[in-house]
């Protein structure tokens, strides 16, 4: 799967180690999360379906 | 309790995959005496003896969401790990019914990151039974940048967890029930069973021996 370009929570580019990209469980939107947002457990929400994670 | 509220509660239990009584008897709602800020929103209340109680409605919702998420991947590209003894049989059973790769027992460092290591694999999704016990797997998943689904208790932090299933991850019956529900939901999402009744294995089959 091609990586998302930006973190969905903070908008930072996903270039560092620890960032990830996955598909939203409810719809097929790509969700990107950067290393710091994953480390600090920052919530993300899908812009298409409104799913809030983690 | 007013009639409306009673009806609302009934509706919530009807929407659940199994009745709340089954969750209660398996001890899925029993947390620990510690609470982390990350898990605060999944906690229902604190008992008089200091145990934090997990909200089972959220557990049920999250199992459903996790199953939807897991079913988007090829089972051969998913890895489930458990260092915990009581989680090992349930994950082997999950693997048996869904085809997901399993690594029970000690997680050898380098399994996900060192191509020359014995048993090297490159999964696209990791499922951890306890982020605290399976920290090596979690660390390596972070290094290779794959998403992580985690079964988290009230004392766990959600560092590098992308989908959380709030549950008791220490109990024998609790782990068996959660993995049984997860296997059933994954098979339904994949279209391998038409309804939940078609899933023949029982929760007892998933339970580890004492």
3-state SS of chain A is CCCCCECCCCCCECCCCCCEEEECCCCCCEEEECHHHHHCCCCEECCCCCCEEC
* Half-sphere CA count of A54, side-chain side, radius 13 A: 28
* Chain A / chain B CB contacts < 8 angstroms: 51
Condensed to tens digits (0 to 9), the pLDDT of residues A2-47 reads 777 899 999 999 999 999 999 999 998 999 999 999 999 999 999 9
Condensed to tens digits (0 to 9), the pLDDT of residues B81-138 reads 999 999 999 999 999 999 999 999 999 999 999 999 999 999 999 999 999 999 999 9
Alpha carbon distance B112, B44 (integer Å): 36
Distance, in angstroms, between B210 CA and closest chain A CA? 33
Q: Which of B124, B145, B159, B163 is best to mutate for the A interface (most A CBs within 10 A)? A: B145
pTM > 0.90: yes
Q: What is the pLDDT of residue B12?
A: 54
**Predicted ipTM?**
0.94
| Overall number of domains in chain A | 1
Residue B57: partners with Cβ closer than 8 Å, 6 or more residues away: B12, B16
Q: What is the pLDDT of residue A18?
A: 94
Alpha helices, DSSP H, located in B27-168: 56-70, 85-98, 135-144
Condensed to tens digits (0 to 9), the pLDDT of residues B171-187 reads 999 999 999 999 999 99
Could you list the residue range(s) of the whole structural domain that residue A27 is in? 1-54
Average pLDDT, integer, range B202-208: 95
């Amino acid at each position: 799967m091609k990586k998302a370009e930006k973190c969905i929570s903070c908008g930072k580019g996903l270039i560092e180690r620890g960032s990830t990209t996955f598909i939203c469980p409810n719809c097929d939107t790509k969700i990107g999360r950067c290393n710091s947002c994953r480390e600090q457990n920052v919530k993300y929400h899908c812009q298409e379906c409104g799913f809030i994670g983690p | 309790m007013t009639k409306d509220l009673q009806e609302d509660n009934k509706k919530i239990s009807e929407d659940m995959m199994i009745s709340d009584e089954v969750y209660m008897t398996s001890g899925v709602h029993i947390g620990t005496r510690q609470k982390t800020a990350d898990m605060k929103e999944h906690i229902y209340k604190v008992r008089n003896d200091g145990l934090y109680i997990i909200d089972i409605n959220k557990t049920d919702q999250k199992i459903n969401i996790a199953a939807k998420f897991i079913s988007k991947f090829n089972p051969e590209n998913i890895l489930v790990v458990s260092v915990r003894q009581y989680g090992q049989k349930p994950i082997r059973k999950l693997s048996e019914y869904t085809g997901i790769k399993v690594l029970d027992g000690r997680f050898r460092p380098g399994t996900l990151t060192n191509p020359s290591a014995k048993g090297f694999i490159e999964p696209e999704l990791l499922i951890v039974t306890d982020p605290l016990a399976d920290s090596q797997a979690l660390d390596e998943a972070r290094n290779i940048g794959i998403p992580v689904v985690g079964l988290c208790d009230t004392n766990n932090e959600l560092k590098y967890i992308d989908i959380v299933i709030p549950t008791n991850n220490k109990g024998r019956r609790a782990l068996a029930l959660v993995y049984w529900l997860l296997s059933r939901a994954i098979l339904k999402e994949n279209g391998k069973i038409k309804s939940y009744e078609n899933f023949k294995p029982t929760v007892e089959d998933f339970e580890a021996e004492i």
